[in-house]
Amino acid sequence: MTDEPNDRNLDQQIKLGSPKILKGHDAEIWDVCIRDNQIISGSDDYTIRIWDINTGNCLKVLEGHTYGVSSVCFRDNLIISGSDDNTIKIWDINSSICLKTLEGHTDSVNSVCVRDNIIISGSYDNTIRVWDINSGLCLKILKGHKSLVNSVFVQDNLIISGSNDYTIRVWDITSGLCLKILEGDIFVYSVFVKNNLIISGYRDNTIRIWDITTDKCLKTLIGHTNWVNSVFVKDNLIISSSADYTIRIWDMTSGVCIETLKGHTDSVMSVCVEDNLIISGSDDKTIRITPISIFPGELSVFQSVINSYWLARNLEREILGYFTGI
């Protein structure tokens, strides 16, 4: 199923506020995430930065990786980072100290995520590794992908991975067994899971929604004009970032694009959402914080009707007053 991107969805309307632009990294920003009122960013300048989301000030710079930082996530007071130096580092967010360096991957660590005391990492060495966050030991190596693993996501007892081998794989985190293979025809750059749906971004500029229970692709969302680097789901909205320099907001039920955010001057590599803020990191070396307001389209239409009604009544009174002298 393919949905036209320029049809407005009447169920939801989006109002965008003025963005706040954060500058400080000296190279491309590859990943962003949000922890409480702080933004964590990883960059090709080898550093991780922590920003105050309200002021936009850079609070801390974490140095230690010897190549670009391609992925960041957090758990409690810990930051987990994956890098092109083939390692994963665990940092204390308060002291800025690197507590552990996890070694084992033989190529760039392109994606990291965390669940409880488990870190999951996806690498250009075609493997996924499962690590104990406390000991730093590698618990499992998941093999099966035939090419680079670009993205990993964890939900409950499942790991979902996307790869340049054109597939999405679903793994059991306990046994390490591959449970499902969802096959496509192009590189999978990003994956996100919402309930029983996998939302994935592709090299062919599309987003696809898969049913994890039936293994079927339910929708293909068309609108981006370059590959989709990152996808994020907030309530019933999909937020995607692309190498076409834009971010798009989609209604997940209908598959309709309801808003396009412009402003970045290079590829938008990562996007996430917290409350009513969209956070994006780009190859233009900036982070943008864009406020959004979401309200029902029916309310907007109703308000327009009411406004038109009172405008007509006021006009009627003015005409009547002109002729009667009232």
> What is the tally of structural domains in the chain?
1
pTM (2 d.p.): 0.86
- Confirm whether 300 is domain-assigned: no
Q: Give the DSSP letter string of 36-104.
A: TTEEEEEETTSEEEEEETTT--EEEEEE--SS-EEEEEEETTEEEEEETTS-EEEEETTT--EEEEE--
CATH code of 32's domain: 2.130.10.10
Picking from 186, 189, 228, 196, the residue whose alpha carbon sits closest to that of residue 71 is 189
Is 108 a member of any domain? yes
- pLDDT at residue 316, rounded to an integer: 54
Flag whether 60 is in a domain: yes
Amino acid 5: pLDDT: 39
Task: Give the residue ranges of the chain where pLDDT is below 70.
Answer: 1-12, 295-326
Q: How many CB atoms neighbour CB 58 within 10 A? A: 17
* Beta carbons of 109 and 66 less than 8 angstroms apart: no
- Confirm whether 288 is domain-assigned: yes
Residue 114 structural domain: 14-292
Cα diameter, the chain: 89
Is 177 within 8 Å of 169 (Cβ atoms)? no
Q: What is the pLDDT of residue 301?
A: 38
As given in the structure block, the two tokens for residue 55 are 């002021």
Helix, strand or coil, per DSSP, at residue 31: strand
Residue 317 confidence (pLDDT): 54
Let me know if residue 322 belongs to a domain.
no
Copy the structure tokens of residue 100. Answer: 């552990």
DSSP for 231-263, please give it: EEEETTEEEEEETTS-EEEEETTT--EEEEE--
Residue 317 placed within a domain: no
- 105 domain residue, yes or no: yes
The token pair at 37 is 């009122």
46: amino acid identity, one letter: Y
Q: Is 246 contained in some domain?
A: yes
